[in-house]
Amino acid sequence: MSDCVFCRIIAGELPAAKVWESQSVLAFLDINPVTEGHTLVIPKSHAADITGVSEEQIWDVALALRAIAPAVVDAVGAQGFNLLNNCGGVAGQAVEHVHFHIIPRKSNDGRGYRWITFNYDEGVADELASKIRGLLA
Ligand code: AMP
């Protein structure tokens, strides 16, 4: 898509610090990293989010993530990483070309990572799980 920033990177119209590329997948450094080495992994076929990615493409992306993440971690001397996909504006997705963030993490890097959580009332989790199962059937 001509107005998609990530499609433009794939097409070579915009610069990027590429770390890995195959026929179907591209990985490059995030221009505004959370931590040093923050990498984005994208399918080359445009899809706004994960629900639009073909089976073959998501498989290729998953294999790339598994291979790339340890290299990113090693390159910056991190001890772990967050693997993140924001899906939809309400979830923080700013670029509408599906992408997975690999964010290397070091102890005491000060970035933190805590969701606000809650507990289900009695019976609610079972009811909700059943509803989701129904939608998947
Ligand atoms: P998200 O909020 O999940 O949509 O994340 C979009 C990410 O894309 C952000 O972390 C941006 O810093 C990153 N980003 C946007 N434009 C570029 C670009 N031209 N090159 C590299 N990363 C980019």
pTM of this prediction?
0.96
pLDDT digits (tens, 9 = 90+) for 33-81: 999 999 999 999 999 999 999 999 999 999 999 999 999 999 999 999 9
Residue 124 lies in a domain: no
- Token duo for residue 44: 């080359």
Residue 1 has pLDDT above 90, yes or no: no
Residue 6 has pLDDT above 80, yes or no: yes
User: Which among 38, 46, 97, 99 is annotated as catalytic?
Assistant: 99
Residue 33 lies in a domain: yes
Give the domain CATH number at 84.
3.30.428.10
Ligand 1 atom having least distance to the Cα of 93: 4
Residue 116 lies in a domain: no
Residue 102 lies in a domain: yes
Number of domains in the chain: 1
- Distance in Å, CA 136 to ligand 1 centroid: 32
What pLDDT, on a 0 to 100 scale, did the predictor assign at position 23? 97
- Distance in Å, CA 119 to ligand 1 centroid: 33
- Distance in Å, CA 77 to ligand 1 centroid: 23
The residues, ordered by sequence, that sit 6+ positions from 74 with a Cβ below 8 Å of its Cβ are: none
Residue 118 lies in a domain: no
b/e per residue, 32-42, with b = 16+ CB within 10 A?
A: eeebebbbbbb
Q: List own/partner pairs for 28-36 with CB under 8 A and 24 or more apart.
A: 30/101, 33/103, 34/101, 34/103, 34/111, 35/76, 35/78, 35/103, 35/104, 35/105, 35/106, 35/109, 35/111, 36/76, 36/104
Which residues have any ligand 1 atom within 6 Å of their CB?
A: 5, 14, 16, 30-32, 40, 86, 92-95
